[in-house]
């Protein structure tokens, strides 16, 4: 399973959004024209989408069908996990293979908030369990007993050494014991960091630690099966960076970014040297779908795509990875006009008006 070699915060910060977004109506024809410029043949390309199962991912699928002239293969599991065990059937179904993987996150344009989405077909924390208080002129933490039980198998666990001062014997001894919580002297590092609050807190006053609870002060634990693409696959990928996710201003955006980065790395390694892609052209692009919440009267979201990275494998086995800045530039260079696109209305009409084919059941026995 993927492990983060770099700092999670640095990894997320490297995922550029500003200046790197494409409307799907622009992205898909640019993608088609780019792979065509690489030697992929018209009429021989089979796209595959690895999206989440949500209904608001349908619009990108319609556009992929329109510009590539065929319904895309399905490479996605719930949570935008790439189903790598489908590589074999996919390779058998086409010559020019184009895999589009995307995690997704909602966006509300009026409030400019990530993680919210108006679903038109519906009717309509732990930071509070840690309190800062002043006791005898010293900054203390009142911590709920639920967070102090060390025999728990899963949940949020505090790194007490970052939060609480040890006694002379090196133990975390509470200053006061309450009915459902315990108070500890704040660590010297935390006292220095929150010195501006210590002078404002009156003796006996308590406030939630809130945003002062940083990712390095806690971690999550859960008993997960470690089967790749198993039922806990996505949770297993996100359990380590979870402190950064839950303390992010936009947790669902951060989770989508991390999932995109982890899945690209993992999936690339399953296709780079796979024999099933021998003598095939393959282009794998991973990014993030931003679903702009539909306004009244709109049927579909105005989905935008943010490319993260891509991988190209040619028929001769040549390979290259394309990082975000270069990938965005390459797509921008392509025309958003596609002369090979199909007329979806006409295609549906022709299917509706085609001669009826009678289905003859096999004779018994």
Summarised one tens digit per residue, pLDDT across range 94-123 is 889 999 999 988 888 878 888 765 544 443
3-state SS, residue 329: helix
Asked if the structure places residue 111 within a domain, the reply is yes
User: Could you tell me which residues are beta bridge partners of residue 46?
Assistant: 97
Mean pLDDT of 26-38: 96
d(CA 186, CA 190): 6
Residues 65 and 97 in one domain: yes
Residues 235 and 97 in one domain: yes
Strand positions, DSSP E, the chain: 22-23, 45-50, 73-74, 76-77, 81-82, 96-108, 113-114, 130-135, 138-144, 155-158, 176-177, 181-185, 206-208, 218-221, 281-292, 302-313, 319-322
d(CA 82, CA 246): 24
Summarised one tens digit per residue, pLDDT across range 137-188 is 889 999 999 889 877 777 788 999 999 999 989 999 999 899 999 999 999 9
The domain tally of the chain equals 2
> Which residue matches tokens 């921008």?
332
Residues 258 and 209 in one domain: no
pLDDT at residue number 232: 45
Mean pLDDT of 228-251: 64
Residues 194 and 263 in one domain: no
Compute, in degrees rounded to 10, the torsion defined by CA atoms 270, 271, 272, 278. Answer: 140
d(CA 73, CA 233): 22
Residues 186 and 264 in one domain: no
d(CA 159, CA 150): 11
The first and second tokens of residue 349, run together, are 């009409």
Residues 269 and 302 in one domain: yes
Residues 233 and 184 in one domain: no
End-to-end C-alpha distance for the chain, whole angstroms:
51
Give the pLDDT band (50/70/90) at residue 71. Answer: very high
Residues 104 and 205 in one domain: no
Give the pLDDT band (50/70/90) at residue 296. Answer: low
Residues 158 and 71 in one domain: no
d(CA 118, CA 276): 41
Residues 90 and 233 in one domain: yes
Asked if the structure places residue 305 within a domain, the reply is yes
Asked if the structure places residue 83 within a domain, the reply is yes
Residue 356 has pLDDT above 80, yes or no: yes
Asked if the structure places residue 153 within a domain, the reply is yes
Residues 235 and 339 in one domain: yes
Decide if 106 contacts 293 (C-beta within 8 A). Answer: yes
Mean of per-residue pLDDT scores for the chain: 84
User: Could you tell me which residues are beta bridge partners of residue 320?
Assistant: 312
Domain containing residue 183 = 126-213
d(CA 326, CA 204): 57
The first and second tokens of residue 189, run together, are 């590092």
Asked if the structure places residue 105 within a domain, the reply is yes
Q: Which of 10-14, 72-76, 221-225, 245-249 has the lowest mean pLDDT?
A: 221-225
Decide if 55 contacts 117 (C-beta within 8 A). Answer: no
Asked if the structure places residue 191 within a domain, the reply is yes
Asked if the structure places residue 108 within a domain, the reply is yes
Residues 136 and 208 in one domain: yes
Asked if the structure places residue 331 within a domain, the reply is yes
Higher confidence at residue 344 or residue 115? 344
* Of 48, 105, 106, 97, residue with least CA distance to 77: 48
Mean pLDDT of 53-80: 88
The C-alpha angle with vertex 254 and arms to 252 and 257, in degrees rounded to 5, equals 110
């Amino acid at each position: 399973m993927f492990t983060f070699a770099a700092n999670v915060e640095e990894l997320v910060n490297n995922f550029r959004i500003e200046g790197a977004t494409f409307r799907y109506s622009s992205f898909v024809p640019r993608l088609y024209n780019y792979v065509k410029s690489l030697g992929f043949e018209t009429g021989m390309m089979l796209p595959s989408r690895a999206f989440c199962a949500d209904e608001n991912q349908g619009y990108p699928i319609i556009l992929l069908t329109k510009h590539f002239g065929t319904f895309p293969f399905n490479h996605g599991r719930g949570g935008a996990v790439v189903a790598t065990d489908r590589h074999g059937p996919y390779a058998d179904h086409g010559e020019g293979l184009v895999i589009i993987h995307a995690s997704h996150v909602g966006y509300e344009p009026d409030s400019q908030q990530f993680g919210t989405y108006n679903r038109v077909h519906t009717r309509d924390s732990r930071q509070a369990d840690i309190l800062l208080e002043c006791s005898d002129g010293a900054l203390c933490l009142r911590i709920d007993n639920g967070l102090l039980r060390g025999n728990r198998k899963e949940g949020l666990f505090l790194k007490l050494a970052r939060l609480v001062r040890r006694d002379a014997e090196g133990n975390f001894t509470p200053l006061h014991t309450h009915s459902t919580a315990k108070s500890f002297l704040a660590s010297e590092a935390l006292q220095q960091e929150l010195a501006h609050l210590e002078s404002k807190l009156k003796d006996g006053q308590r406030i939630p630690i809130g945003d002062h609870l940083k990712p390095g002060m806690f971690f999550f634990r859960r008993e997960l099966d470690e089967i790749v693409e198993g039922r806990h696959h996505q949770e297993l990928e996100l359990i380590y960076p979870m402190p950064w996710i839950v303390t992010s201003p936009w947790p669902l955006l951060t989770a989508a970014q991390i999932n995109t980065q982890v899945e690209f790395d993992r999936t690339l390694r399953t296709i780079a040297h796979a024999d099933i892609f021998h003598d095939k052209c393959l282009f794998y692009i991973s990014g993030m779908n931003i679903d702009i919440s539909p306004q009244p009267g709109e049927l579909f979201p105005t989905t935008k795509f943010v490319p993260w990275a891509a991988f190209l494998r040619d028929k001769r086995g040549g390979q290259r990875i394309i990082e975000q800045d270069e990938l965005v530039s390459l797509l921008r260079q392509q025309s958003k006009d596609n002369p090979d696109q199909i007329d979806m209305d006409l295609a549906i009409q022709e299917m509706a008006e085609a001669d009826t084919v009678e289905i003859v059941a096999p004779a018994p026995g």
